[in-house]
Each structure stands twice: as structure tokens, then as C-alpha cells.
Amino acid sequence: MNRPLCTVCGLAAAHNQQGGPCLACYREGCSQMVDAAPYRAMVRRMLRHTTATDLAEMLGCSRQAVKNLQYGRVTRIRPSLAAAIDAVASQPPSCAVCDDVDTVLITSRDPQVISKRLNTTTVALSRHMYRCGRPDLGRLFARPSTFTRYHERTSA
């Protein structure tokens, strides 16, 4: 069974099939693992908008790695995983409802029309927009009578 070489020293075989540091480098701490505490909050924030399986696919790791990080079972993570979390966290969160609202906003600014097209209520859309960090649209759906003023402000 041929294992890849250690990514730290390049002398010994890696201690698992996926590569990484050898057992000696891992025990010495030469693998330069990163503290997981700041990334735990990022992962929890991202999991509000997506599932663990989808997030794991975006990060290039296993679902179990995401869950371990989410629940604090690990204290240190690989630098490559930390870089992937930073890259994904820097992208704005997106969800299906927000995407649908953005699509319908192209054709109509009337909250009643938008809610009927999405088969929901304006109150539910307002709550969703506030939860997703879009208070401008949350206010639009909270008071459907103000859509004219909103439309005037955005077109000016």
C-alpha cells in the first residue's frame, strides 16, 4: 500500500491515505494546524443558510468535519480547511427564497404580487428578509402600502 509522502518534511509516508503530515510531524506539531475557535462561528453562521452536506461540498471536506467543527469537537483544523472557510464566508449568503424574491423583483415591485407568485404571505417574506440580513426588503414586505415610496427611493 503506497501512501503519499509527508507534506511537512517530505521524508516519511503520510499517516493516512489522503496525505498530510507523517505521524512524527503530526506529534511534533510541525503540521501547523490552525486554531478552530474563530472558524467555528463562521461555520455556524453559514449553516443557517445551507445544510452541512452542501457546506462540506463547498469546503472540500467531509460532512463529519463540518459537524465536528460546528459542535466544538475539534480545537485545531488544517490550514487548507481554514482558507476554504474564509473563502466561502467572504461570499454573500444566498438562499432559495431570497433568489426567488430577487427574480420576481425584476418584473414587479408590488409586495402583494410577489407574495402571490411565491405562494406565501407578505408577513412571512418580511420575516425571512430580516433573518437573511436584508432589512430594506423586510420593510417593503412588512408594510405593503409603502412599496410606492420604496420604488420612488430606489429609482431616484
Set of cell numbers at residue 99: 433568489
Given a cut of 80, is residue 145 above it in pLDDT?
Answer: no
Average pLDDT on 139-150 reads: 66
Helices (H), 12-146: 23-28, 37-47, 52-59, 63-70, 79-90, 96-107, 111-117, 122-131, 135-142
Given a cut of 80, is residue 147 above it in pLDDT?
Answer: no
Q: Do 113 and 101 meet the contact criterion of CB atoms below 8 Å apart?
A: no
Last residue of a domain, one of 67, 90, 113: 90
**Within this chain, do residues 1 and 52 fall inside the same structural domain, yes or no?**
no
pLDDT digits (tens, 9 = 90+) for 54-90: 889 988 888 988 999 999 888 888 888 899 999 888 8
**Within this chain, do residues 100 and 149 fall inside the same structural domain, yes or no?**
yes
**Within this chain, do residues 26 and 49 fall inside the same structural domain, yes or no?**
no
Q: Residue 148: its pLDDT value, please?
A: 55
Q: What range does the domain containing 61 cover?
A: 33-90
Rg of the chain (C-alpha set):
23
Measure the CA–CA gap between 37 and 34, rounded to whole angstroms.
Answer: 9
- The number of folded domains in the chain is 3
Set of cell numbers at residue 108: 414587479
**Within this chain, do residues 63 and 110 fall inside the same structural domain, yes or no?**
no
pLDDT digits (tens, 9 = 90+) for 91-132: 766 677 888 888 888 888 888 888 898 898 888 888 888 887
pTM of the model: 0.49
Average pLDDT on 139-149 reads: 67
Q: Residue 75: its pLDDT value, please?
A: 84
**Within this chain, do residues 86 and 111 fall inside the same structural domain, yes or no?**
no
- Tell me the pLDDT band of 39, cut-offs 50, 70 and 90: very high
Average pLDDT on 18-39 reads: 75
**Within this chain, do residues 120 and 151 fall inside the same structural domain, yes or no?**
yes
**Within this chain, do residues 43 and 84 fall inside the same structural domain, yes or no?**
yes
More confident residue, 64 or 49: 64
**Within this chain, do residues 65 and 103 fall inside the same structural domain, yes or no?**
no
Set of cell numbers at residue 10: 517530505
Q: Quick one: CA dihedral 78, 43, 38, 66, positive or negative?
A: negative
**Within this chain, do residues 66 and 84 fall inside the same structural domain, yes or no?**
yes
Set of cell numbers at residue 134: 436584508
- Tell me the pLDDT band of 144, cut-offs 50, 70 and 90: low
**Within this chain, do residues 111 and 149 fall inside the same structural domain, yes or no?**
yes
The DSSP call for residue 93 is: P
**Within this chain, do residues 64 and 110 fall inside the same structural domain, yes or no?**
no
| Residue 132 Cα to chain centre, angstroms | 12
**Within this chain, do residues 42 and 68 fall inside the same structural domain, yes or no?**
yes
Q: Residue 74: its pLDDT value, please?
A: 85
Q: Do 44 and 70 meet the contact criterion of CB atoms below 8 Å apart?
A: yes
Q: Quick one: CA dihedral 101, 133, 131, 53, positive or negative?
A: positive
